[in-house]
Homo-oligomer: A and B are copies of this chain.
Amino acid sequence: MSRLYNFSAGPATIYEDVLKCAQDDMLEYQDTGMSVMEMSHRGKDYKEIFANTKSSLKQLLNINDDYEILFMQGGASMQFAAIPLNLLSADGLAQYIVSGSWSKKAYKEATKFGNVECVASSEDKTFSYIPNVENIEVNPNADYFYICQNETIYGTYYKQLPKCNNVPLIADMSSCFVSEPIDVTKYGMIYAGAQKNAGPAGVCIVIIRKDLLEKNAQSICPTMLEYTTYSNNDSMYNTPPTYTIYICGLIFQHILNLGGLEAIAKTNYAKAELLYNCLDNSKIFKSTVAPHNRSIMNVPFVSGDEEIDKKFIAQAKEAGLVNLAGHRSVGGMRASIYNAMSIEGVEKLVDFIEKFEKENL
């Protein structure tokens, strides 16, 4: 067996220890006589797995009792509709910053369901930066203010949050979820498709402040998109994606074992620094992102020459460094260096970039 260094943006590399644990449990979980996949979601054994997953996440992000954790389906894209359907009033307003493909999609979808305003965009420079939040005035009457905290495709990240005062801030954290400590109380709602740092594809984790659940959803909101359908039934109104949630639980527990988010963040920043330093010193490649907006999770870079990009991606693959092509909408390269990508993996990538540079200059 030889596992490769997988820089995929998601679904993404998973801790080998977690996979080994899942492998050991596959035919029989502990002494339950069955695989987790086969367990009734209403049985004692699965309920314990589910409760442990939630409590590990609570511990990891230091989530207080003012918040509910919901496990939904349909990815972040389903939330693009669920958010206005649940939180935007008939005569209300929602404000969005458009800083990349995902927030643009979220904004566009929301316009179907009410009065929505784009207050800032970075599309003028191909989303290579985050609009300056200092210049943004949040409307104090808005139902919510929306950002995508880390744009997976363009590799940008909000280091500073807009000043929302009493307006709930909603953040799509799909690609930076559980990558470093955050102050959850700054947000009305955080959500994340799991398939980057949290688990396999097929579950979307929503962390929402309880007062927002008291709002009536729009009458046209499908029952399965209503947040209270989940909060009133501990995410078991119908069958949740049980096995996917179990793997998330293994990952959360593994991160706790590694020392929690403080420890993880230290490694993540070290990994990002290694790679950005290499790119900043490179004579062939360069990062595409404004230095103060750089993501520590997704690192796009280009040579400016499509042929060189292609050659790099092909030779990297031969060297065991895979899924380095940029998103199909932007081209170039992108190294996603999520939690489960080891520092050794990033070192190998940096070595390879330097070697490639020597051979091609």
Query: Which residues of A approach B to under 8 Å, CB–CB?
Result: 1-4, 6, 8-14, 16, 19-20, 22-23, 26-28, 32-35, 37-43, 73-78, 80-82, 85, 109, 112-113, 193, 195, 200-203, 219-220, 222-225, 237-244, 247, 320, 322-323, 328
Contact = CB atoms under 8 A, between A and B. Distances in A.
A316 to B, nearest CB: 13
A112 to B, nearest CB: 7
Given A201-B243, A225-B222, A34 B13 contact: yes
Contacts of A322: 33-34
Contacts of A78: 73-74, 222, 224
Nearest to A240: B201
A12 B38 contact: yes
Contacts of A240: 201-202
Q: Is the interface of A mostly helix, strand, loop or mixed?
A: loop
A239 B192 CA distance: 13
Contacts of A35: 14, 19
A195 B243 CA distance: 11
A85 B195 contact: no
Nearest to A109: B223
A241 B10 CA distance: 12
B38 A8 contact: yes
Contacts of A34: 3-4, 6, 13, 322
Q: Pick the most buried of A9, A11, A32, A35: most chain B CB atoms within 10 A of its CB.
A: A11
Contacts of A239: 10-11, 75, 193, 195, 201
Contacts of A42: 328
A202 B241 contact: yes
Contacts of A32: 4
Contacts of A242: 11, 195, 200-202
A248 to B, nearest CB: 11
Contacts of A11: 37-41, 239, 242-243
